[in-house]
Amino acid sequence: MITFSDTSLSPYLFQVSQWYELVVFTASMEIYGSAVADKLDNSRSILKRRYYRQHCTLELGSYIKDLSVVHSDLSSIVILDNSPGAYRSHPDNAIPIKSWFSDPSDTALLNLLPMLDALRFTADVRSVLSRNLHQHRLW
């Protein structure tokens, strides 16, 4: 799971929540993931649903996120994740992002706003995201 400071992420989450239903899907245990999601959401109900380690599939010692638990129609599902192994079942739905470690100059999320804005007008996000598979690190 990527963690962020609440103050820097609030405007970002609010903007993106105007375009998408935001869901947390983490391979972390629920006790940790829930605490982080609570801090990010800050009682605004921006994060509509939450999925934790128990919703993942354990495969060869790694937790894999099966996006079909979020929705059976994957044409509008986008996963933003720093761990390509976690979304290896659905690479065509993924936008890889580097891990964040308290770097105030990091603009990775802001740089994604134009893409996220454009994707909401795409009939099937996989038709666009699958073109960027070369950006994913091998797992």
pLDDT, one tens digit per residue, over 62-110 is 999 999 999 999 999 999 999 989 999 999 999 999 888 888 888 888 8
Contacts of residue 88, Cβ cutoff 8 Å, sequence gap at least 6: 64, 139
**What global pTM score does this model have?**
0.83
What pLDDT band is residue 136 in, cutting at 50, 70 and 90? low
Task: Please give the pLDDT value at position 75.
Answer: 96
CB 95 within 8 Å of CB 108: no
Task: Please give the pLDDT value at position 100.
Answer: 81
Task: Please give the pLDDT value at position 5.
Answer: 42
> What are 18-44's pLDDT values in tens digits?
999 999 999 999 999 999 999 988 888
Q: Where are the domains of the chain?
A: 8-129
Least confident residue range of 9-13, 35-39, 60-64, 131-135: 131-135
Contacts of residue 45, Cβ cutoff 8 Å, sequence gap at least 6: none
Statement: 8-129 belongs to CATH 3.40.50.1000: yes
Residue environment code for 88-97, b if the CB has 16+ CB neighbours within 10 A, otherwise e = bebbbbbbbb
